[in-house]
């Protein structure tokens, strides 16, 4: 299945698509580095939430590492297999990744940190919410994760479900006054 982002967000440095070319990060340009890391995080969330595993795999170098709750996973294919198995019991999920802080942008590897919220529903119909932090090492030339550490600081199952669909009349309702 192709969507509006797939042509642009396959992690390619050259080529293009309807949205232009992904440009490598240039050391010393903190604003541009933060913007490139933010876009990489958005691609990460977009592809994993939609289970577009081939595109998601291309966001990692072939030798990437992922540390998930203390477990170290090595290699892009192994990372995809592990996360795919982890998310098989979710009927839906959505990541909200906050703007990253660039920790180190000198040289070929960029260090970054970003906080996130993950919301979803299990295949048993139970809603959950998690919050945590990503600690990243990113290949600045290819815009791919060399390593990502995922730490969950908060996890809870919700007792009341979210309404995933907008109610008739919109969020405020037809009878409520809009600002």
Question: What average pLDDT does this structure show over 26-43?
Answer: 80
3-state helix, strand, coil in the chain (%, to 5): 20, 35, 40
**Is 24 or 146 the better-scoring residue by pLDDT?**
146
In angstroms, rounded to a whole number, what is the distance separating the alpha carbons of residues 70 and 77? 19
Ranges of each domain in the chain: 30-157
**3-class DSSP state for residue 85?**
helix
CATH class of the domain comprising 30-157? alpha beta
The pTM (predicted TM-score) of the whole model is 0.75
Is a pLDDT exceeding 70 seen at residue 105?
yes
For the segment 133-158, what is each residue's pLDDT rounded down to a tens digit? 999 999 988 999 999 999 999 988 87
């Amino acid at each position: 299945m192709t969507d509006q982002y797939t042509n642009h967000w396959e992690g390619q440095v050259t080529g293009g698509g309807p949205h232009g070319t992904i440009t490598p990060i240039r050391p010393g340009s903190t604003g541009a580095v933060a913007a490139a890391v933010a876009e990489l995080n958005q691609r990460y969330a977009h592809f994993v939430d939609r289970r577009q595993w081939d595109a998601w795999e291309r966001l990692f170098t072939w030798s990437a590492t992922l540390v998930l709750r203390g477990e170290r996973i090595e290699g892009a294919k192994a990372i995809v297999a592990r996360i795919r198995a982890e998310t098989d019991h979710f009927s839906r999920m959505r990541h909200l990744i906050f703007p990253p802080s660039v920790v180190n942008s000198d040289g070929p590897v960029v260090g970054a940190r970003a906080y996130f919220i993950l919301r979803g529903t299990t295949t048993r119909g139970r809603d959950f919410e998690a919050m945590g932090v990503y600690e990243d090492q990113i290949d600045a030339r290819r815009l791919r994760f060399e390593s990502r550490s995922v730490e969950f600081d908060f996890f809870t199952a919700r007792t009341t479900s979210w309404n995933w669909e907008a109610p008739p009349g919109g969020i405020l309702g037809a009878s409520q006054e809009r600002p």
